[in-house]
Structure 1
């Protein structure tokens, strides 16, 4: 495996920049684990359960069932030592999806299905759709820019009971009826942009690792140069003397 001293010698050091999420079977980041850096439709071959998660960077959606179905859980960068910390109703996580970074967010809301009736466009978070737009049900969305998280409850809350306070990922695209985003009714309490910042923002461990590598390489090269100068000086003949 390449070490820090191999940088620039044909074997570049590659910090684990791609690793963004690690799922563990047991609580406290113990037991068998699986690492993901992109969407994964079926985690069953790698994990029988999931009781803790470490998100190194980005925003992710965990899904209770394979193929991005079942209950959904929105996770930001951080450590989740127990599945209850992401309000999971069980230790079942069968698929996950990386939410791409977007510089802007725009979403259109329609009360009736199939984009009929009055349209409202939003670009910022909305903690209570009823207070702001006098809407408690939404039957269609048109997501124009960025990804959004839809919450059934107000103030982006996630319920802890069966069927209470679910959340749903809305990626750019058309949602002509509420079945399109995976729910069984049109109840919507709040909407939030899925924002975690660019991949490099806040990645302190990664940045410190890169700084350490370059510092190590600089010191090593300085030592090599000094050693060469010393060896060259030792080989130079001294002044001749006569007796």
Structure 2
């Protein structure tokens, strides 16, 4: 751990990170705009207070991705952190439910491919929406209501949001089955937008910088298995 005043050093350019055997590095600052006491982490941290950092005001992710949490022990609201600079709280969340970040851990992405299945009801029942290698800013706008009660993350790592446009509380879906919304830390079955988490092995810049590029996404289609996503009725 080190204490230092001033802005962070420039990030190393062109260094490949991510995937199996990846190195992770994140720098947490006490105050906004990368000021005050700082700590550097390359592995999970269950309590930043144990590192003598009372609060987190800004963040630099040099290699990632990471997921941070509102409370100690990886509990509470979740915040996905991909490569980039986060000078203030509003740059890593817009839910405004809490201004606390007390634990974080690296996120592993198993492959460059991404495949996610969303289900209307618990236990993988009801209407199903399958998304392949695409980001969906509004499930409702493309024929799937906001109720998502179970999820199968078949490839890659995803983050879901309570509201359209990647707003509100965030929920991480690492590869695996989620039979009930409590399994991903939600208190209600509400997800209205989802996107892929960028791993540094395949996405060198990460989502935090990609989303500033201004390039519009390709519109999805609901017909045909070769399209980015498909919608089907439950049995």
Q: TM-score, normalised by structure 2?
A: 0.70
Decide which of 2, 25, 33 is 1:20's aligned counterpart.
Answer: 25
RMSD: 2.3
Distance 1:38 1:45 in 2: 14
User: Does 50-59 or 79-88 show the bigger shift?
Assistant: 79-88
**Alpha-carbon spacing, 1:168–1:24, altered in 2? closer, same or farther (3 Å):** same
The Cα shift of 1:106 comes to: 0.9
The Cα shift of 1:91 comes to: 4.4
Flag structure 2 segments of 5+ consecutive residues without an equivalent: 1-14, 18-22, 207-235
The Cα shift of 1:62 comes to: 1.5
Distance 1:118 1:182 in 2: 22
1:94 and 2:102 aligned: yes
Distance 2:203 2:113 in 1: 17
The Cα shift of 1:195 comes to: 1.2
1:176 and 2:186 aligned: no
Q: 1:236 corresponds to which residue?
A: none
Distance 1:199 1:103 in 2: 6
Q: 1:37 corresponds to which residue?
A: 42
The Cα shift of 1:200 comes to: 8.6
Distance 1:154 1:104 in 2: 23
Q: 1:127 corresponds to which residue?
A: 137
Task: Say how many residue pairs are matched.
Answer: 181
Residues 1-243 of structure 1: pairs in structure 2 closer than 5 A: 18=23, 20-46=25-51, 47-87=53-93, 89=96, 90-101=98-109, 102-123=111-132, 124-157=134-167, 165-198=168-201, 201-202=204-205
Larger radius of gyration: 1
1:31-58 CA distance string (max 9 Å, x none): 2222112322222201210001111122
**Alpha-carbon spacing, 1:66–1:196, altered in 2? closer, same or farther (3 Å):** same
Q: 2:213 corresponds to which residue?
A: none
1:150-195 CA distance string (max 9 Å, x none): 01110212xxxxxxx1111111111111111111111111010111
1:62-121 CA distance string (max 9 Å, x none): 211012211222222211222232236454211112222431111111111111233332
**Whose strand fraction is larger, Structure 1's or Structure 2's?**
2
**Alpha-carbon spacing, 1:195–1:66, altered in 2? closer, same or farther (3 Å):** same
**Whose helix fraction is larger, Structure 1's or Structure 2's?**
1
Query: Is the contact between residue 112 and residue 202 of structure 2 (CA under 8 Å) also seen in structure 1?
Result: no
- Say which structure, 1 or 2, has more relative contact order (CA 8 Å, 6+ apart): 2
Q: TM-score, normalised by structure 1?
A: 0.68
Distance 1:37 1:170 in 2: 22
